[in-house]
């Protein structure tokens, strides 16, 4: 292995995860003052975590979105019909939707502090007339029902860097699967456990001790591709490692399209 190859691997295993965790600690520090000012009465840990994530995503989101645009944009452009945009965050990729193919979009975003930016990006993308923001987690089927999101009512589910954070992933992903009509599609760009390098898996397991606490419940080594594959019957499962990722990547992805049988 060349010296530059060695440096790449060192940076991937140590520098990249430590930088992400350091940015998160900085975001927590930057959140303390606005939190104290904003919540003079009855502040809670949940409120702090929401504001913290909001701050963190304002720092990391644009970099991450730019880096992954080559994979994410063509994927999101395939959305059609009634669309469930799960965890849109601040709406950094809503501009990728092709409005001509879409009837309605529901953005399921539990972090209420991100809604202001999300609405702003929806307006900028010209989607205000078809995009409704729903303030709950994807697992909250009662709330989704209030919006008419019921089994077999959705043509496309979009999840971009979200399933690493949902609670009880098997249950949540199965209940999302049920919302798709037969022939409906699920567009996925998610990070997963590394399957190709045991050394990277060991490091992922070590980072996982702190990762969910520092990164708003995100799991660095969740087997999201397997959970999706086992959520129900698929006619097509095109999930694959995006081109250009190294087999030893500490934050490898699974990306592509699944079509419900």
Ligand X SMILES: C[S@@+](CC[C@H](N)C(=O)[O-])C[C@H]1O[C@@H](n2cnc3c(N)ncnc32)[C@H](O)[C@@H]1O
Q: Residue numbers of the site for ligand X (CB under 6 A)?
A: 57, 61, 65, 86-89, 92-93, 108-111, 114, 137-139, 160-162, 165-166
Taking the complex as a whole, the smallest distance from the CB of residue 235 to ligand X amounts, in Å, to: 25
Taking the complex as a whole, the smallest distance from the CB of residue 80 to ligand X amounts, in Å, to: 19
Phi, psi (rounded to 5 degrees) for 124: -60, -30
| Between 197 and 252, CB nearer to ligand X | 252
Taking the complex as a whole, the smallest distance from the CB of residue 53 to ligand X amounts, in Å, to: 6
| Between 82 and 188, CB nearer to ligand X | 188
Q: Given its phi and psi angles, is residue 81 left (phi above 0), alpha (psi -120 to 50 degrees) or beta?
A: left
Taking the complex as a whole, the smallest distance from the CB of residue 150 to ligand X amounts, in Å, to: 17
| Between 57 and 203, CB nearer to ligand X | 57
| Between 29 and 69, CB nearer to ligand X | 69
| Between 55 and 161, CB nearer to ligand X | 161
| Between 8 and 48, CB nearer to ligand X | 48
Taking the complex as a whole, the smallest distance from the CB of residue 198 to ligand X amounts, in Å, to: 27
Could you write out the DSSP letters of every residue in the chain? Answer: --HHHHHHHHIIIIIHHHHHHHHHHHHHHHHHHHHHHH--SS--HHHHHHHHHHHHHHHHHHHHHHHHHHHHHHHHTT--EEEEEE--TTTTTGGG--GGGEEEEEEE---GGGHHHHHHHHHHTT-TTTEEEE-S-TT-HHHHHHTT--TT-EEEEEEES-TTTSSSHHHHHHHHHHHEEEEEEEEEEEE---SS-HHHHHHHHHHTTTHHHHTTT--TT--HHHHHHTSS-EEEE--BPPTT--TT-SS-EEEEEEEE-
Taking the complex as a whole, the smallest distance from the CB of residue 10 to ligand X amounts, in Å, to: 26
């Amino acid at each position: 292995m060349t010296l530059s190859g060695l440096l790449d691997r060192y940076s991937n295993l140590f520098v990249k995860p430590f930088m992400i965790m350091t940015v998160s600690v900085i975001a927590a520090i930057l959140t303390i003052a606005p939190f104290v000012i904003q919540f003079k009465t009855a502040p809670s840990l949940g409120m702090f975590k929401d504001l913290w994530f909001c701050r963190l995503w304002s720092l990391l989101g644009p970099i991450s979105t730019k880096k992954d645009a080559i994979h994410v944009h063509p994927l999101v452009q395939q959305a059609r019909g009634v669309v469930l945009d799960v965890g849109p965050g601040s709406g950094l990729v809503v501009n990728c939707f092709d409005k001509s193919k879409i009837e309605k979009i529901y953005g399921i975003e539990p972090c209420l502090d991100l809604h202001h930016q999300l609405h702003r990006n929806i307006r900028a993308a010209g989607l205000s007339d078809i995009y409704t923001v729903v303030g709950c987690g994807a697992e909250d089927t009662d709330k989704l029902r209030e919006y008419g999101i019921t089994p077999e009512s959705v043509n496309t589910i979009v999840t971009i860097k979200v399933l690493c954070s949902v609670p009880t992933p098997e249950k949540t992903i199965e209940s999302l699967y049920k919302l798709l009509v037969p022939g409906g599609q699920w567009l996925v760009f998610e990070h997963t456990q590394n399957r190709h390098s045991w050394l990277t898996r060991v490091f992922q397991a070590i980072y996982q001790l702190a990762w969910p606490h520092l990164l708003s419940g995100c799991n660095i080594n969740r087997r999201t591709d397997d959970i999706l594959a086992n959520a129900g019957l698929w006619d097509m499962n095109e999930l694959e490692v995006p081109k250009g990722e190294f087999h030893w990547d500490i934050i490898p992805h699974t990306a592509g399209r699944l079509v419900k049988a």
